[in-house]
Structures are given as C-alpha cells and as structure tokens.
A and B are shown apart, each in its own frame.
Chain A
Amino acid sequence: MTKRKDTKGFPDPDLIAWTSDTLREGGWRPDDLRMFKFLRRVLNNIDIAYIATYPPTECGIATFTRDLATAISKYTPFSDPFVVAISSIETMEQYPKIVKFQIQKHEHESYVEAAKFLNESSAKIVNIQHEYGIFGGPDGEYILALVDKLEIPLVVTLHTVLFNPSPGQKRIVQEIAEKAMAIVVMVRTGRDILINTYEIPPEKIVIIPHGVPNVHRVSAAAVKKSLGIPDSPVMSTFGLINRGKGIEYAIQAMPKIVEKFPKAMYLVLGETHPGVRHYEGESYRNELLQLVSDLGLERHVRFNNRYLSLEELINYLCATDVYVTPYLNRDQIVSGTLAYALGCGKAIVSTPYLYAEEVLSDGRGILVESKNPDSIAEAVIHILSNPELKEEMEAKAYRYGRRAAWFNVAIDYLDLFHTLLQQTKAPQRSTTATGRRSGS
C-alpha cells in the first residue's frame, strides 16, 4: 500500500490546506513558511494509528473513528495519523487516503499482517475501536492475533461492554485489556461492569465521554422553516435503522400525542443498517410503514431513508422538539445518536438502557418504560405541555454536550496518549493509566 507523503518534505500541499483550514480564523497565511517551521518545532507531535471501521463504511464506529481522528488532528496538525480499516469482501470500500492498511475482516492472517505493518510504521500509539461484531472470528476474536503481535503502546476504546458476556466474549476483552495500557469507556457504568464482571484492573480504565459535534443553540422554529417542516411539535429518532431501535413503539405512541397536539410529527431519519439490509432487506422498515398506515398516521410520521450527512443530521436535530430513543437493548452502553442529541441541547425521552440512564440523569431527559407506547406518549406530552421544563431540559442537555464536544474529547484522548507514552519512557513507573483523572 502506498505510504502518504512524509510531512518532512515540507511544504506538503495537503498539510498547508489542512492546517490553514484549522487555523484560518487566526489570520493564518498558508504561505508563511517561517511560521510553519516554527510551529512544527513547537507543537507536540504524535502519530496515532486507529484500528476500526471507517467511512464510507456505514456504521456508528466508522463515524466515531472519523470524528475522533479529525478532532485530534486539529490539535496535532504536523502529525501523520492513519487508519487500519476493517473491511469485508461484501463492502469493498473506496477509502480516503488516511486509511493506509485494510484488514480483511474474515481472514485471520490479515490481522497478523496488520500487526507487522503497524510495528514498522511511524505510529507511536495504537487506538483500537472495539465492538465484537466489527472483527472476524467467533465474537470477533481475530483481533487477538493483531493485539498479540503488536509492539506499540495500545489503547482500546470499548463500544460494547456486556452485563452478561459469554465466556468467549469475556475472555476476548480480558486478553485485550491484558495487553492494553488503557481501556477507554464512555460512561461510569461501563467502568463498573469492566471491574465487576470482566475483572479488569480499575487503574487501567479511563472514562472519556462520547464526542458530540460543536453545535450552537439555535431556534428550532427557524430551522424547521429552512427544512420545509411546518412549525409544529417535532419528535425525531435517527440512526441506522434496525429492529433494536424499537421505533414501532414510538409510532404507536403517536395517536395519543396527536390527540393532544394535532400537528405533531415524528421523523424517522436514516437508512436501514447495511448489515441488516444484507440479511433481511427492508422488511423492518416495511413493517413500520405498514404500522403507520394501519394507524392512519401518514400525515404525522415521516421517514427519510438516506444515510444523512452530519450537516443534515444537525439540522434535523436542531429542528427537533423532543428526541426519542425507544431502544430495546437494556445493555447498550453507548449511543452516538443520543450523544448527538445532547450536543444539540434537545429535550430527550428514552427507554432505560445503560447509556441513557447515566447521561440523562440529573434532569437531562425523561426515562420511559421499554416497549410501552403509553409511557412514551405521556413523557412527550409532558414535555410539550411545559415549555419551561422543556427549556430547562434543553439547557441541561446542552451544558452536558459542551463538555463532551469533540474538541474537548480530543484533548482527553491526547492527554491520555501523552501520559502513557511518558510512562513508557519511564519504565520504573507503572505502565497503566494509574493516577490519571477519569473524565466526566
């Protein structure tokens, strides 16, 4: 695979374009070579390798990895980050150039080759985005072949922490944790489960929240107008649609909501998850469409069956009055869509899965019973009927979101990486995340 042009061959046109974009508001002049040389010497550099799925692969972890890498890069404009992407033959993605190596998901040997590639690369630290399903083998165990051969400091971000893991699932995380210098989870609950169920040493676990876009609060009415949505109460749910989303229960809540707010609208945003589409086509979406028809809700439920850009998502979220996550999996330890809704400062109604329970505490949202349309309807009506409560919830959500903005999360990761690298230079000290402050 072709290696990217070394930034030492200054001036690198990509670097100029990218850095000037990063610093443009400061009156940066891309042709100011003296400043480039000076900053390149002064700024801390760290080449990070990310192992994960990556866009154009459509999944939450791919999006997360892109957002994290982008956010960190803005603070390290002279570093050379790269991605080792998990690919499968079915997808055959055309990746951007930040992807320097592709692991064939279902080929064990490909993981060994990736470890060799990484060991010979410029990477100073490796960050694996872990979710069992994105790697090959039973419960994604092929990733262990890579971890075992890796000779570079490793940090693993866990996107799934199961309350009741199978013996195989538990063993995989334990073996990864054994090799990793730090394990990142996004909520305190995840840390507790790792300690109590997976028996991971607490000093290895660091909490860094799921990043959210840097969004300024705007008037929902103005955004609705720009999107052609009537100025009426809007609920929404977005993401890659699959049966675990429980959208049918939110749809079933609509008749009661419409009874109270006759112009209320529920937007279901996003395409069917590609993995789901591969196995069952659009059957879930078709069932939802049939349900809407059966309930006579055609004027009150709209679907947008596309993979939405970040800008589109933000616009729809800003136009939303009540964001709903009616998810069914009680063990879900993170939700990018819920994190984004918090970042946009939305009033939120959610079923009580682990991530929602934690981030919606302190009045940042209302938890409702799982698979219970009446419970959803009651909560939505309560919020829409109490503008002051809605405003209060929105303000609390937005404050939480500011702390979790990607520019803050990037600093948390960089802080962790630098701390760990310092420890590797001082072998007499512990080589874990001991003593680090845990994030929010």
Chain B
Amino acid sequence: MRLIEEGQFKMVVNMASVKYIDSAGLGIIVGGLRRVAEHEGGIALAGANEQIKRVLNITGLARIIDLFEDEDEAIRNLKKIDRTETREDK
C-alpha cells in the first residue's frame, strides 16, 4: 500500500516465503489491485505455494490475479497483464 501511495503502480509480490494466506491477506491483494487499476497498473504474484494457489482458485480470485512461478517470469509478463475486466466496470 505504501508503494502505491508513492506512485508505484506495477508491482510483483514475491510470495515465496508466505506459507498461508487468509481472507485478510486476500483483502490486501484485492485492495492493492483496485488501487493500481485506477492508474493502468497491475499486480502479479510470484512463487506462490500450492495452498495460496488453491485459495485463489477456490475463491475465484485466480481469474483476476496473475500468478507466476518466480519473480523473473512475473516481471517479464507484467506488461502483458490484461486489465480489461477491471476497467469495464468503471
């Protein structure tokens, strides 16, 4: 959130050291996604473990959050993040 306030609207979140995610964690990601979308930005998650992927799939958030195996791949693909869905509701 601090990075967004400082004007960073494209970011990769390295999840490699995150063991579990709960609804509060999802809230942080979704809140961040909403804010960067206002500035044509995007958020990608890198290195998420199976538990996190499972949570994103089961909740449906996997439809709007991009997942990559590692940071490098996420950075390479960040520009390709399709924000069409988030924009169409504005």
Contact = CB atoms under 8 A, between A and B. Distances in A.
Given A27-B31, A27-B35, A32-B34, A43 B23 contact: no
B64 interface: yes
B27 A43 contact: no
Nearest to A44: B60
B85 interface: yes
A23 B27 contact: yes
Contacts of B58: 44, 75, 411, 414-415, 418
B19 interface: yes
B27 A26 contact: yes
Contacts of B55: 75, 411
Contact of B20 (A27, A39, A44, A405): A405
Contact of A35 (B26, B28, B34, B61): B34
B90 interface: yes
Given A26-B31, A408-B51, A415-B54, A42 B63 contact: yes
Contacts of B90: 34
Contacts of A22: 23-24, 27
Interface in A182-238: 214
A23 B24 CA distance: 6
A74 interface: yes
B22 interface: yes
By DSSP majority rule, is chain B's interface helix, strand, loop, or mixed? helix
B1 interface: yes
Interface residues of A, number: 28
Nearest to B22: A407
A411 B64 CA distance: 19
B27 A25 contact: yes
A38 B35 contact: no
A410 to B, nearest CB: 9
B59 A76 contact: yes
Nearest to B54: A411
B61 A43 contact: yes
Given A37-B89, A74-B23, A75-B58, 4 more contacts: A27-B31, A42-B85, A43-B61, A408-B20
20 contacts: A22-B23, A22-B24, A22-B27, A26-B30, A27-B31, A27-B35, A35-B89, A38-B86, A42-B85, A43-B61, A44-B59, A44-B60, A74-B23, A75-B23, A75-B26, A75-B58, A402-B19, A405-B22, A407-B23, A411-B58
